[in-house]
Structure 1
Amino acid sequence: MRLKNKVTVITGSGSGIGKSSALLFAKEGASVVVNDISIEKGEETASEIRAGGGVAVCIPGDVTNPDSVEKLVADSIAQFGRIDVLFNNAGISGVGALHEIHPSDWDRIMNVNVRGVYLPSKYVLPHMMKQRSGSIINMSSCVAEIGLARRASYAASKGAVLALTKSMQVDYASFNIRINALLPGTILTPFVENYLKTSYADNEAAIESLKKRQLSEQLGLPEDVAAAALFLASDDSKFMMGSPVYIDGGVTFGKNA
């Protein structure tokens, strides 16, 4: 029960890493605010938590919309009285070399992946400052640290999140607020599975190719990232501040011969 009596808000928790994190946080004693742009998916996650005996509410909303995010935070405070953990998980992917990317696609990636960290943090931080405690977890990616073909917009957005994490930590350390970043490798989420099916003629060959990028020769699972998020959310990581946490199967710092 590492999150007993803690209130957690997880954006993009209707599926994938966010959903796995919500389920794990609840199992560890947290009250979970499930946020997703899809009401149906968000309600599914919250219902699954409650069916397992946990505490959860679904507050849908768009992390790029200030009014929506302000309502998410206000409703969370009204429901539970405080917010101890904010997991800025919501995000989207983008594919293409720089010259191939349409300006509207570039703006959409930046809007969701960077603004979607800025806005929830902006509205949660005053509450954490008042209570003089809190943990914020920002979803970056290992592509913030490495070059990867045809991922220009995604890499730029996740690099921005990593830089933002470090800057935020300096500003809010004196309030006993910890801000850290997760840097996953390729994780086999429903989004990735659908991308592989629609982008490659041979789905199995595509998966095997992705596995070869990892020293582990395996793709990560949402549960792998959720376990790291739990560590950052809990007091087990109380001496970690502004840190990148790699869950990438060895992509960033290793290379198979």
Structure 2
Amino acid sequence: MRLEKKVVLITGSGSGIGRSTAKLFAAEGAKLIINDLSKEDGEATVQAIREEGGEAIFIQADVTKADEVEAMINEATDKLGAIDVLFNNAGISGVGPLHELSEELWDRVVNVNMKGVFLPSKYVLPQMIDRKQGNIINMSSTIAEIGLMNRAVYAATKGAVLALTKSMQVDYAPYNIRVNALLPGTILTPFVENYLKNSYDDPEEGLATIRKRQLSGDLGRPEDVARAALFLASDESKFMMGSPLYIDGGVTFGKMA
């Protein structure tokens, strides 16, 4: 029970990595605030947690809108108490070389991936400062450190999240607040499955191509990232501050001959 009685907010936890992390955290004793744009997905995560004996509530909110985020934090605090752990997990991708990206797509990816970290942090941090304790986990990506074809806007935002994580840590260390980042490689989530279906005539061929980037020879699973998030959320990582944690099957630091 590494998170016993901890109140945890996970944005974008209606599916994929967010859902897997929420279920694992609940099994470790946390009280979960599930957030997602999709009411159906968010409530499904809550139901899955409750069926396993965990405690969770769902609050629908758009992490790019200040009024909705502030209302979410207030509601969560009223129902479950002060937030101990914030996992800024919500994010989207944008595919294409820079010169072919529409301004609308650029703005949307930047808004979700960067503002979606800024706003939840902004409204949770005051209560963490008052209590002189707290833990924030930001979802970055290995693409913050490496180049990848047709991922210009996604790379820009995830690099920004990593830089933001380090600066936040300097600002909030005096209040006993830790801020770290997760850097996953390619994880087999519903988003990646849809990408394969939409981008390749043969999704299996596309999957084989992506697997070749991994020293592990396979893609990660949401549970792999969830376990890393649990480590950062728990006291087991108490000496990690402003750090990137890689869960990437060897993509960042390895290359096949």
Matched residue, 2:37 = 37
Q: Could you tell me which residue of structure 1 aligns to residue 202 of structure 2? A: 202
Where do residues 159-198 of structure 1 align in structure 2 (5 Å cutoff)?
A: 159-198=159-198
Q: CA deviation at 1:51?
A: 1.1
> Structure 1: how far apart are the matches of 2:192 and 2:60?
23
The residue matched to 1:59 in structure 2 has which SS? Answer: strand
- 2:216 aligns to what? 216
Residue-by-residue CA offset, 1:11-65 (whole Å, 9 max, x unaligned) = 0000000000000000000000000010110000011101110000001110000
The aligned amino acid for 1:201 is D
> 2:242: which partner in 1?
242
2:162 maps to amino acid: L
Percent of aligned pairs sharing the same letter: 67
TM value normalised by structure 1:
0.99
Whether 1:9 aligns to 2:9 is yes
Question: What is the correspondence of 1:23-34 to structure 2 with a 5 Å cutoff?
Answer: 23-34=23-34
Within-5 A mapping of 1:1-257: 1-257=1-257
* Alpha-carbon shift at residue 97 of structure 1 (Å): 0.8
**Counterpart Cα distance in 2 of 1:228 and 1:135:** 14
Q: Distance in 1 between matches of 2:61 and 2:115?
A: 14
User: Quick one: which amino acid aligns to residue 243 of structure 2?
Assistant: S
Q: Distance in 1 between matches of 2:254 and 2:198?
A: 29
- Structure 1 residue matching 2:60: 3-state secondary structure: coil
Q: Which amino acid aligns with 2:125?
A: L
- Cα distance, 1:204 vs structure 2: 0.6
Task: Give the unaligned 5+ runs of structure 1.
Answer: none
Q: What's the CA shift for 1:188?
A: 0.1
CA distance in 1, matches of 2:230, 2:3: 8
Aligned-pair CA distance for 1:198: 1.1
Give, in whole Å, the separation in 2 of the partners of 1:127 and 1:114. 21
* CA deviation profile, 1:175-200 (whole Å, cap 9, x unmatched): 00000000000000011101101110
| Residue correspondences, number | 257
Q: What is the distance in 1 between the residues matched to 2:60 and 2:52?
A: 21
What residue identity is the alignment partner of 1:137?
A: I
Counterpart AA for 2:180: N
Q: Which runs of 4+ in 1 moved over 4 A?
A: none
- RMSD of equivalent CA atoms: 0.5
